[in-house]
Amino acid sequence: MENNKERFKMLDTVYMLMIILPIVCGIIIKILTTPQSDDIAISGARIFFTLKLPIQDLPITESQINSWLVMISIIGLCLFLTHGIKEKADTKRQHVAEWIVENTEKLVNGNMGEYFSGFAPFIAAILALSAFSSLMALFGLYAPTSDVNVTAGWAILVFFLITYYKMKCGPVVYAKSFADPVLLAPLNIISEIATPISMAFRHYGNVLSGSVISVLLASGLQGLSAIILGKLPGFLGEFPLFQIGIPAVLSIYFDVFSGVLQAYIFAMLTMLYVAGGFPADEYFRRKAVKNN
């Protein structure tokens, strides 16, 4: 019995380390690889190194490394919440896990219908990966969602899912959907192509703009402190008065609220596009004819 308890605690420790250590590693990597500078630097993800490949070289960037760190943390969180799960919830972590599952299923069933109930894990993964990626900025790390290559990859994956469900009744029905009505066929084709582009740039643009505004405001507050207190003697002249508290309050919106909101919007668009493109009536009609 004692051995089981010790093993349980040991696994809990491992899972908690899986949550925390990736963030710590990200901070250490940033400290060791970022050159010291007093100037404001607003740039994209840094390239750490490049892998030589036959067709095209693959650059390993800051956003890719941080994405993997986020995924490791999410896996650790999932393992921690479901560790020791029982048929009847008797721990806070299991209550939290069940709350997440139940609300995700309600969200999916309410927006997509029962046919897509199996989408709940996928939508939960999108929400977690997007939100946690944006929240990396709270630790001074480059948010993967600030890289259009990352959000474009997610959007392309969603676009494949949209196309797959639109073609559930065959390519002929899919092609006819562009000619409904015929006069708007060119616009329908453009709209189809624009779907992943708009999803990628909406998410990327909102997160990146928040990061840029945060940096500019922090710099402006630093300058304001220097202007007002600069003539005071000693350490009073260097005291960053307006940098105390104000950037943290702004970060609640730009990093927390905006990041979580964009994750929710991306997940909602995924559900609406996939469910909206699925020809449900025709699909179930054909299925009923086939069964008879």
Residue among 209, 195, 187, 192 nearest 254 (CA): 209
Tell me the C-alpha distance between 22 and 141, whole Å. 12
Residue whose tokens read 């750490």: 48
Tell me the C-alpha distance between 263 and 186, whole Å. 31
Q: Helix/strand/coil (H, E, C) string of 186-234?
A: HHHHHHHHHHHHHHHHHHHHHHHHHHHHHHHHHHHHHHHHHHHHCCCCH
Let me know how many helices (H) and strands (E) the chain has, helices first: 10, 2
* Per-residue model confidence as pLDDT tens digits over 120-178: 999 999 999 999 998 888 887 888 998 889 999 999 999 999 999 988 888 888 888 88
E strand or H helix at 292: none
Burial of residue 248 (number of CB atoms within 10 Å: 0-12, 13-18, 19+): exposed
Q: Which two tokens stand for residue 184?
A: 């708007």
175 DSSP β-pair partners: none
The structure's pTM equals: 0.84
DSSP symbol at 47: E
Q: What is the pLDDT of residue 239?
A: 61
pLDDT tens for each residue of the chain, 292 residues long = 667 888 888 999 999 999 999 999 999 998 888 776 555 566 677 888 888 888 888 888 899 999 999 999 999 999 999 998 888 878 889 999 999 999 999 999 999 988 898 899 999 999 999 999 988 888 878 889 988 899 999 999 999 999 999 888 888 888 888 877 777 888 888 888 899 999 998 888 888 777 777 777 777 777 776 677 666 666 555 666 666 666 667 767 777 788 888 899 999 999 999 998 888 888 888 888 877 7
Tell me the C-alpha distance between 239 and 269, whole Å. 46
